[in-house]
Amino acid sequence: MATTSATIGAAESAAPATEMTVARPGNELMSLYRIESDLVELMAALDEAEDEETKRAIEQGIEEYLGREVRKVDHIRGYLRYCETMIAASRLAASEATQMSRIWQNRYESLKERTQQTMEGFQVKVLEGQAGKLLVKRNGGLEPLDLYNEELLPDEYRTATIEMPLTQWKAIQAVVPGAPEAKRAEPDTKRIRAALAAPCWLCNAKGGECQECGGTGKGRVPGARLNERGSHLEIR
Ligand SMILES: [Zn+2]
């Protein structure tokens, strides 16, 4: 079987992504990617399955298919490539839709603003039409606060956000009355990794019957451990 290691890369096909829909592949696309209709039908049916029983049956069908066909690499590889192309096409469609909504939002804001400016220019508060009216109204809520020069603000009007080891903060808390509790204390993954990689302080990396490390010979951090790296499939 082919090799293994992959990210979802650029689809290799020459077919332009924009011409595709997110629905099922057409016959041309299917033959382009050498996808067998069995697999396509099964994958689509899985999406449409409404109850758990049907879903399990389809999943079993897919597993059986893969078991039978895994040596016919092209079908499975083709379907994975097809997925990559469809991901790219759907992302493109989504970004185009976002752009379109931005355009309409801009038109809406722009015309509203011009109309308001014109009405204010003529000192008109209400314009009556046949279907409805346009009103210029004062905003509710707080008056807008304008921090026009933050550097001039005295310290008592500012809040500091500080990042430091929790041990340091606790030392400060111990001597500063009224120092607040830390809002959040994020795991310091760099320090945790270093501590887990360091040799065990008790057995000095000898392992064996060590009570501290349990025989690994490595450092211990309560509540943290390193798991084995997983594996992944690379499509080439
Ligand atoms: Zn040890």
Distance from C-alpha of 60 to C-alpha of 213, rounded to nearest angstrom: 42
Distance from C-alpha of 167 to C-alpha of 187, rounded to nearest angstrom: 12
Q: Say how many Å lie between the CA of residue 219 and the centre of ligand 1.
A: 7
Q: Is the pLDDT of residue 1 over 50?
A: no
Q: Say how many Å lie between the CA of residue 222 and the centre of ligand 1.
A: 14
Q: Say how many Å lie between the CA of residue 140 and the centre of ligand 1.
A: 66
Distance from C-alpha of 126 to C-alpha of 137, rounded to nearest angstrom: 9
Maximum CA extent, the chain: 90
Task: Report pLDDT digits (tens) over 95-105.
Answer: 999 999 999 99
Start-to-end Cα distance in the chain: 11
Q: Say how many Å lie between the CA of residue 233 and the centre of ligand 1.
A: 36
Q: Do residues 197 and 191 make contact, with C-beta atoms less than 8 angstroms apart?
A: no
Q: Is the pLDDT of residue 11 over 50?
A: no
- Report how far Cα 67 is from the mean position of its chain's Cα atoms: 32
The residue extents of the domains of the chain are 8-136, 189-223
Output 41-45 pairs: Cβ under 8 A, ≥24 positions apart. 43/79
Q: Say how many Å lie between the CA of residue 208 and the centre of ligand 1.
A: 8
Q: Say how many Å lie between the CA of residue 227 and the centre of ligand 1.
A: 18
Task: Report pLDDT digits (tens) over 136-192.
Answer: 999 999 988 999 999 999 999 999 999 999 999 999 999 999 999 998 899 999 999
Q: How confident is the model at residue 228 (pLDDT cuts 50, 70, 90)?
A: very high
Q: Is the pLDDT of residue 14 over 50?
A: no
Percent of the chain with pLDDT over 90: 55
Distance from C-alpha of 13 to C-alpha of 118, rounded to nearest angstrom: 54
Q: pTM (2 decimals)? A: 0.52
Task: Report pLDDT digits (tens) over 68-82.
Answer: 776 677 778 888 898
As a whole number, the mean pLDDT across the chain is 84
Q: Say how many Å lie between the CA of residue 13 and the centre of ligand 1.
A: 54
Q: Say how many Å lie between the CA of residue 115 and the centre of ligand 1.
A: 76
Q: Say how many Å lie between the CA of residue 236 and the centre of ligand 1.
A: 44
Q: Say how many Å lie between the CA of residue 223 and the centre of ligand 1.
A: 17
Q: Is the pLDDT of residue 15 over 80?
A: no
> Would you give the DSSP letter of residue 165?
-
CA-based nearest residue to 203, from 223, 220, 227, 224: 220
Q: Do residues 232 and 5 make contact, with C-beta atoms less than 8 angstroms apart?
A: yes
